[in-house]
Amino acid sequence: MNEQGSPQAGTNLDPWYHHYAERAGGLRASEVRALFAVASRPEVVSLAGGMPFVSALPQELVINAMERVMVEQGAVALQYGSGQGVPALREQILEVMALEGIRAHADDVVVTTGSQHALELVSKLFLDPGDVVISEGPSYVTAMVIFKSYQAEIDHVPMDENGLIPEALREHIASLKAAGKRIKFLYTIPSFHNPAGVTLSWERRLEILQIARENDILVLEDNPYGLLYFDQPAPDAMRSVEQDGVVYLGTFSKTLAPGFRVGWALAPHAIREKLVLANEAAVLSPSSFSQLVISEYLSSADWKGQINTFRGVYHERKNALLGALDEYLPELGWTNPNGGFYVWLTLPERLDSKAMLPRAVTELVAYTPGTAFFADGDGHQNMRLSFCYPTPENIRVGIRRLATVIRAELDLLDTFAGTGSLRAAPSGRQFGAPPPNLS
Amino acid sequence: MNEQGSPQAGTNLDPWYHHYAERAGGLRASEVRALFAVASRPEVVSLAGGMPFVSALPQELVINAMERVMVEQGAVALQYGSGQGVPALREQILEVMALEGIRAHADDVVVTTGSQHALELVSKLFLDPGDVVISEGPSYVTAMVIFKSYQAEIDHVPMDENGLIPEALREHIASLKAAGKRIKFLYTIPSFHNPAGVTLSWERRLEILQIARENDILVLEDNPYGLLYFDQPAPDAMRSVEQDGVVYLGTFSKTLAPGFRVGWALAPHAIREKLVLANEAAVLSPSSFSQLVISEYLSSADWKGQINTFRGVYHERKNALLGALDEYLPELGWTNPNGGFYVWLTLPERLDSKAMLPRAVTELVAYTPGTAFFADGDGHQNMRLSFCYPTPENIRVGIRRLATVIRAELDLLDTFAGTGSLRAAPSGRQFGAPPPNLS
């Protein structure tokens, strides 16, 4: 066996153990992974996953689009396409982005296999080992998995109820630069953040763009949820005011359906050219069939009306979640999202969301522990609650079960207080204490 | 601007020029890229691209499969799926691979976004900068683009009419090891090679597996064309005799249609686990919709009969190509593939396929110059002729035009012989000389 490779995660039962690339050490099963398995049991109310409620999409709209594509453009749909994506779809993507104030040219759009793959391609283009990606803390799990897979370090900047805190960003950049770190980009989800549920205010968008400009830092604006607002739209996208310094990522996974795996990047021209090459290397071309079906759907169906339908579904579910929290766990703190899929809940300091999860699953409710959303082990006191997929009734059932779990956990801690047999509370802070701390 | 980055391909007009990762320097537009643009002009007979002739697939088979999927499993088709792929499809993939002697477990199959993405994922898992990938010379263009994008070096081992030459492989491994190189895998297309059109004999398959075993080298067996044989099947896959040392790549792009972007990897268990994680990081899950449509097609349509239809189409076209070469360019040498899409043509030494291409396009025929298939600039005397897409009639027209171009080129060389104004012939070798030299 070749002994030149570096040790990696895994066991020596793998005969290729010493052959993997160094970066393969960063690929580990995420906490969300195990949860997906749990959440698939029908008796569990899962507030864990981020699956859109695709049943709110009338299937005949999709079937009609497919049939028209096959009849009118079958040979194109079945064939390889361009590495940049179908031109007609790229034009339609401009209309989608215009709803959030973005003006762009279709030539600067690259269609990808979900916006996840755009994240992967941007990371492959920019990240050398040891580079730093700044992101909100908490941040999107599978973005961090990608950054780590390219051996980058993740620096979390705290948020409050108005999103990323500009002053904290300035401080982090200064420390990182002082430490000689190369900051490659700021990864941000400004609207209806995953997992925090908060939205970056307009003033802060401008200020953060200014900070990025001053420090020569590229902004990677990930916006899967922007159009799924409840009471009022999110502020316009950061890309609407800054073209040269922003790579913007969008997707049809939440406004239509994830099963097609179609997303996109809108990038400054030189970056876009490299993204197309990276896309061709990775998949030759994104699925022609998926792209043409979506293009046909956008041409012929009332897609804006369908987005309104989704907004209504998710708004109702968010209200169900917050109503149930008010009723069953009024002592806790949580964010109140004006769109998207997620609420970020803060537990009493004595509780550990990760340690509590198995007991929650025993009570037939699942959530994502806050630790999944931090690269540095933070988040024990938090959890993400997803309201996108379960019905309002099931959301209430789930929160009632969660309250039972939390109370039992606290009772247990009280019973064993001082015996040292359970993790002691680190301080006297109790229910009803601070506003949700997202840092 | 951050000056810490290393210089990359591109111009300083790109404000992010110094920010790219080192590996981004390996991403360059391939020669095939420009050819795709040329080939799309309808007046050009393109013998350049590798597009399957999807019009030989009855569209109602696909439409029926889609409709059944949407009616019976619509909510699943539109949703995210598993990072490993749909279990039912993975079972069916076993039936496909069984046709080439492979016995495996569905748990060791990972569905990918075309087999291209399996190549990308395997490369991401294994390749550190400076690692060596051994491949046939010539080899598949976009595999080499991926290897280079992970900063690996490519070492070409020559072929003859029975494929990769084992003795040459032994010598290359010895030299590479003597030079202290880390060899990560042997990338090979044993059946109906792209671009060479040759097939690795059974005896050599066994011998090469033995060499790989002795030298602790993983074999990456890429088999997109194996089922598209003409007179007789290719020998069984290398994976049929060696499980632990082979990652096998398959695809539905050639036996069904590339527009769905569905391929797969069959890998030793520990590697498979890492491939799933890498797949999830890259795209979350491959398209549920595409996978279910293919699964339904495999369940309900006569897919083996359809493969026979494709075989007939491509066999007829190969015969048209070889017949036209016999008639119009009998002095040249070429390979006679027993399957797949490609013939490898050897020009007189005096000619340069890359330099000649613009004149060929002027005469309305396109091919891929041999240089595209070598990492080291070799291949000037060769070209790849694809018979997969144009009709037999157009193939004849294309070869007639190509003959005109070649003769005009030779006349020009004769006219200017000795004046030094054109590239002189390096030797006295002429038409009708050696058998096709693939090294």
Q: What is the pLDDT of residues A91-116, one digit of tens each?
A: 999 999 999 999 999 999 999 999 99
Cβ–Cβ below 8 Å for B287 and A287: yes
Distance of alpha carbon A235 from alpha carbon A353, whole angstroms: 32
Cβ-based contacts of A184 with chain B (< 8 Å): 19
Reported as a pLDDT band with limits 50, 70 and 90, residue B421 is very low
Least CB–CB distance from B283: residue in A62, A261, A268? A261
Q: How confident is the model at residue B347 (pLDDT cuts 50, 70, 90)?
A: very high
Using an 8 Å CB-CB cutoff, list chain B residues near A22: 128
DSSP state of B82: -
Residue A310: predicted pLDDT? 98
- What are the tokens at A430? 């109790």
Question: Tokens 């283009």, residue?
Answer: A125
Q: Where are the beta strands (DSSP E) in A73-200?
A: 109-112, 132-137, 153-160, 163-164, 183-188
Least CB–CB distance from B277: residue in A22, A29, A75: A29
Of B128, B274, B285, the CB nearest to A22: B128
Is residue B128's pLDDT more than 50? yes
pLDDT at residue B3 above 80? no
Q: How far is B431 from chain A (nearest CA, A)?
A: 37
- Asked if A282's CB is within 8 angstroms of B117's CB, the reply is yes
Which stretch of A428-432, B307-311, B386-390, B401-405 has the lowest confidence by average pLDDT?
A428-432
Q: Give the orientation angle of helix A269-283 with respect to helix B114-126, to 10 degrees.
A: 100
Separation CA B127–CA B106 (nearest Å): 26
pLDDT per position as a tens digit, B365-406? 999 999 999 999 899 999 999 999 999 999 999 999 999 999
> What angle in degrees, to the nearest 10, is found between the helix axes of B269-283 and A114-126?
100
Instruction: Answer whether B290 sits within 8 Å of A285, measured CB to CB.
Output: no
Mean pLDDT, chain A, whole residue set: 91
Distance from CA of A162 to the nearest CA of B (A): 29
Min Cα distance B294 → chain A (Å) is 12
Q: Nearest Cα to A153, choosing from A199, A185, A117, A115?
A: A185
Distance from chain centroid for Cα A175? 27
- How far is the alpha carbon of B410 from chain A, nearest alpha carbon, in Å? 36
Residue A18 Cα, gap to closest chain B Cα (Å)? 10
Task: Say whether pLDDT at A263 is over 80.
Answer: yes
Mark yes or no for CB contact B142/A280 under 8 Å. yes
Contacts of B113 in chain A (CB under 8 A): 113, 261, 282-283, 287
At A339-369, the pLDDT tens digits run: 999 999 999 999 999 999 999 999 999 999 9
Report whether pLDDT(B251) > 70.
Answer: yes
Contact A123, A152 (CB under 8 A): yes
Cα–Cα dist B363/B407, whole Å: 12
Q: What is the structure's pLDDT at A189? A: 98
Q: Contact B114/A23, CB-based, under 8 Å?
A: no
Higher pLDDT, B304 or A17: B304
Q: Which domains does chain A have, with CATH numbers?
A: 19-56+306-417 (3.90.1150.10), 60-300 (3.40.640.10)
Tell me the average pLDDT across A404-409: 96
B67 contacts A59? CB cut-off 8 A: no
pLDDT confidence bin for A10, thresholds 50/70/90: very low
User: What is the per-residue pLDDT for B31?
Assistant: 58
* pLDDT at A420 > cutoff 50: no
Return the minimum-mean-pLDDT range out of A123-137, A411-425, B271-285, B357-371: A411-425
Q: Is the pLDDT assigned to residue A26 strictly greater than 80?
A: no
In whole angstroms, what is the distance from residue B118 CA to residue B120 CA? 5
**Of A29, A78, A274, which is closest to B27 when you measure between CB atoms?**
A274
Residue B427 has pLDDT above 50, yes or no: no
The full 3-state SS of B177-198, as one line of letters, equals: HHCCCCEEEEEECCCCCCCCCC
- Cα separation, A124 vs B120, in Å, equals 11
pLDDT value at position B5? Answer: 41
When CB atoms are compared, the residue of B10, B260, B286 closest to A289 is: B260
Q: Can you read off the two tokens belonging to residue A40?
A: 């698939």
With beta carbons under 8 A apart, name residues in chain B contacting A36.
82
By CB atoms closer than 10 A (0-12, 13-18, 19+), residue B232 is exposed
Predicted local confidence at residue A178, as pLDDT: 98
Phi/psi for A30 (5° steps) reads: -85, 165
Name which of A268, A234, A298 is nearest A100 in CA terms. A234
Chain A positions touching B75 (Cβ under 8 A) are: 54-55
Taking the alpha carbons at both ends of chain B, their separation in whole angstroms is 45
Taking CB atoms and an 8 Å limit, are A259 and B27 in contact across chains? no
Least reliable range by pLDDT among A8-22, A25-39, A190-204, B43-57: A25-39
Cα separation, B91 vs B247, in Å, equals 18
> Comparing A434 with B215, which gets the higher pLDDT?
B215
Helix, strand or coil, per DSSP, at residue B43: coil
Burial class (CB in 10 A: 0-12, 13-18, 19+), A3: exposed
* DSSP β-bridge partners for residue B157: B136
- The letter for the amino acid at A438 is L
Q: What is the pLDDT of residue A41?
A: 83
Q: What is the pTM of this model?
A: 0.92
What pLDDT does residue B35 have?
A: 59
Buried b / exposed e over B354-365, threshold 16 CB at 10 Å, is bebbeebbebeb
pLDDT band at B49 (very low <50, low <70, confident <90, very high): confident
Contacts of B81 in chain A (CB under 8 A): 259
* CB pair distance less than 8 Å for B259 and A80: yes
pLDDT at A131 over 90: yes
Q: Which two tokens stand for residue B121?
A: 């994922």
B418 by Cβ neighbours in 10 Å (0-12 / 13-18 / 19+) ranks as exposed
- Which band of pLDDT confidence, cut at 50, 70 and 90, is reported for residue B25? confident
Q: Which of B27, B57, B286 sits opposite A78 (nearest CB)?
A: B57
In chain B, what percentage of residues exceed pLDDT 70?
A: 90
Is pLDDT at B350 greater than 60 in this prediction? yes
**Among A277, A279, A274, A245, which residue's Cα sits nearest to residue A264?**
A279
With H, G, I as helix, E, B as strand and everything else as coil, classify residue B337.
Answer: coil
The answer to whether the CB atoms of B74 and A62 lie below 8 A apart is yes
CB contact under 8 A, A54 and B62: no
The closest CB to that of A289, out of B116, B146, B290, belongs to B290
* Long-range Cβ contacts of A354-361 (<8 Å, 24+ apart): A354/A31, A354/A380, A355/A380, A355/A423, A356/A405, A356/A406, A356/A409, A359/A405, A359/A408, A359/A409, A360/A401, A360/A402, A360/A405, A361/A38, A361/A44
Q: What is the mean pLDDT of chain B?
A: 91
Between CA B220 and CA A323 the distance in angstroms is 55
The yes-or-no verdict on residue A8 having pLDDT over 60 is no
Asked whether the beta carbons of residue B116 and residue A81 sit closer than 8 angstroms, the reply is no
Test B288 with A182 for CB contact under 8 angstroms: no
Q: Which of A64-73, B7-16, B180-189, B338-347 has the lowest mean pLDDT?
A: B7-16
Mutation target to probe the B interface, by most B beta carbons within 10 A, among A12, A78, A254 is A78
Q: Cβ contact (<8 Å) for A54 and B75?
A: yes
Evaluate whether B33 touches A84 at the Cβ level (below 8 Å): no
Chain A partners of B268 at a C-beta cutoff of 8 Å?
A: 14-16
3-class state of residue A355 by DSSP: helix
User: C-alpha angle with apex A246: A242 to A251, nearest 5 degrees?
Assistant: 115
What does the radius of gyration of chain B's CA atoms come to, in whole angstroms?
Answer: 22
Q: How far apart are CA B399 and CA B320, in angstroms?
A: 10
Q: In angstroms, how far is the first alpha carbon of chain A from the final one?
A: 45
Least confident of A40-49, A270-279, B62-71: A40-49
Distance of residue A289 Cα from the nearest chain B Cα, in angstroms = 5
Q: Test A113 with B142 for CB contact under 8 angstroms.
A: no
Pairwise CB contact (< 8 Å): A81 & B285: no
Strand partners for A246: A219
* Distance from C-alpha of A344 to C-alpha of A372, rounded to nearest angstrom: 13
Give the phi and the psi of residue A2 in degrees, each rounded to 5: -65, 120
Angle between the A114-126 and A141-149 helix axes, to the nearest 10 degrees? 30
- Which of B182, B283, B297, B310 best probes binding to A when mutated, by most A CB atoms within 10 angstroms? B283
Cβ–Cβ gap B66/A71 under 8 Å: no
Q: What pLDDT shows up at residue B34? A: 64
Report, in angstroms and rounded to the nearest whole number, the Rg of chain A calculated over CA atoms.
22
Q: A50 with A386: CB under 8 angstroms?
A: yes
Smallest Cβ–Cβ distance between A16 and the set B2, B66, B270 belongs to B270
CB A44 within 8 A of CB A60: no
Output the pLDDT for position B333.
97
Chain B hits for A23, CB-CB cut-off 8 Å, are: 124, 128
B75–A10 C-beta distance less than 8 A: no
**Distance, CA of A137 to CA of B86 (rounded, Å):** 34
Element (DSSP H or E) covering residue B174: helix B166-178
Q: Does position B409 have pLDDT exceeding 50, yes or no?
A: yes
User: CA A271, CA A267: separation in Å to the nearest integer?
Assistant: 6
Residue with tokens 């979640």: A321
A13 pLDDT tier (thresholds 50, 70, 90): confident
**Residue A285 to residues A203, A259, A413, B30: CA-CA distances in angstroms?**
39, 17, 55, 14
Residue of A111, A141, A283 to mutate, interface with B, max B Cβ within 10 Å: A283
Of B1, B29, B80, the CB nearest to A258: B80
Cβ contacts of residue A241 below 8 Å, gap of 6+?
A: A205, A206, A209
| Residues in chain A closer than 8 A to B131 (CB atoms) | 21
pLDDT band at A160 (very low <50, low <70, confident <90, very high): very high
Rounded to 5 degrees, φ, ψ at A384 are -100, 130
**pLDDT of B123 strictly over 90:** yes
Work out the average pLDDT over B40-63. Answer: 92
B42 CB neighbour count, 10 Å cutoff: 7
CA distance A414 to chain B (A): 41
**CA dist., res. A78 & res. A290, Å (int):** 10
Three-state secondary-structure class, residue A420: coil
**Cβ of B218 and A285 within 8 Å?**
no
Please give the sequence-ordered ranges of beta strands (E in DSSP) within A40-112, or none if there are none: 45-46, 109-112
Q: Tens of pLDDT along A185-207? A: 999 999 999 999 999 999 999 99
Tell me what the mean pLDDT of segment A302-317 comes to.
98
Write out chain A residues lying below 8 Å of B61, CB-based: none
Buried b (16+ CB within 10 A) or exposed e, A194-233: bbbbbbbbeebbebbbebbeebebbbbbbbbbbbbbbeee
- Nearest Cα of chain B lies from the Cα of A90 at a distance, in angstroms, of 17
Q: CB A280 to CB B59 under 8 A?
A: no
Beta carbon pairs, A and B, within 8 Å: 256
Closest CA of chain A from B430, distance in Å: 38
Grade residue A36 by pLDDT with cuts at 50, 70 and 90: low
Identify the closest residue of chain A to B13 by CA–CA distance: A270
Structure tokens that stand for B102 in this block: 């492979």
Closest residue on chain A to B294 (Cα): A78
Among A332-336, A418-422, B231-235, the range scoring the smallest mean pLDDT is A418-422
Cβ atoms of B204 and B160 closer than 8 Å? no
pLDDT over 80 (residue A69): yes
Residue B119: pLDDT over 50 = yes
* Distance in Å, alpha carbon of A283 to nearest chain B alpha carbon: 5
- Which three-class secondary structure state does DSSP give residue B23? helix
